[in-house]
Amino acid sequence: MDLTLGFMNMKPRTKRQIDRLIIDREKPLFISDADEVVLYFAKHFKSFLESRGWALNLSGYRLDKAITHKTDGYYPDKSVAQSLVKKFIRQETINQKLTKNSKETLERISKIASVVILTNVPEYAHESREENFKKLGLNYPIISNSGPKGSAINYLSKDITKPCFFVDDSPFQIESASNENDKLISIHFSACEIVKKVLPPSSFASYTPERWSEIELIVKKEIDNATK
């Protein structure tokens, strides 16, 4: 596979952010999504909507047709729904909370692998995401992406011969990453119970753990196996 062609699909701003990173290429690489993996999104968004007279009723892995009026049950116009999502991201990205056991597990993983956060947070909220991570004591580089993450993951992991891991709740991102890198150890995971109930399975995932403690065991096992 000619990986150079894959890099062409990456957004210029994503490539610039990766180019500024200094990664120890002698260590394993652990790439993680942010929303619903390290930080709660749906849980927080639900509270945000309820404070404004709306409800979140996820019936599938998407936000459209998930927002309804609390009193009348009607769906908002597309423009209203999009406005609510954008307002939440602008106002609340800086206040998102840690998922259960994510911080302490990442701290332990960071001792045996380089940790990078690859998130599809909009560009206008990138600084808020960085600020939020700092407030939470998460000192890992954050790369903002848009669309499929496969190309960015390839670029991040080029020249690394040790195990490379990728964690995401989206089955579409797991597929994108796995299709472009057959050596990647892909971990399909959400820490949010609201999302877990509607999360489609991924046939492309190497692992589908239920909790962060399982992710830590997977990382240790794969690194140990690679050294044998």
pLDDT in tens, 90-108: 999 999 999 999 999 999 9
Residue 2: pLDDT above 60? no
Query: How high is the mean pLDDT of the chain?
Result: 93
Would the CA dihedral through 190, 194, 197, 198 be positive or negative? negative
When pLDDT is cut at 50, 70 and 90, the band that residue 136 belongs to is very high
- The CATH code for residues 3-40+97-226 is 3.40.50.1000
pLDDT in tens, 160-198: 999 999 999 999 999 999 998 889 999 999 999 999 999
CB-hemisphere CA count at 13 Å for 189? 29
Residue boundaries of the structural domains of the chain? 3-40+97-226, 42-95
Q: In whole angstroms, what is the distance from residue 158 CA to residue 181 CA?
A: 10
Average of pLDDT values for 26-33?
97
Q: What SS3 state is found at 9?
A: coil
Q: In whole angstroms, what is the distance from residue 66 CA to residue 85 CA?
A: 12
Per DSSP, the chain holds a count of helices (H) and strands (E) of 10, 7
Structure tokens belonging to residue 104: 């302490």
Average of pLDDT values for 106-124?
97
pLDDT reported for residue 3: 29
pLDDT reported for residue 118: 98
Long-range Cβ contact pairs of 180-188 (< 8 A, separation 24 or more): 180/1, 180/3, 180/6, 180/150, 180/151, 180/153, 180/154, 181/150, 181/153, 181/154, 181/157, 184/153, 184/157, 185/218, 185/222, 187/215, 187/218
Which residue has tokens 């307002």?
A: 87
pLDDT in tens, 45-72: 999 999 999 999 998 887 878 999 999 8
64 Cβ neighbours under 8 A, 6+ residues apart: 78, 81
pLDDT reported for residue 91: 97
Q: In whole angstroms, what is the distance from residue 147 CA to residue 211 CA?
A: 26
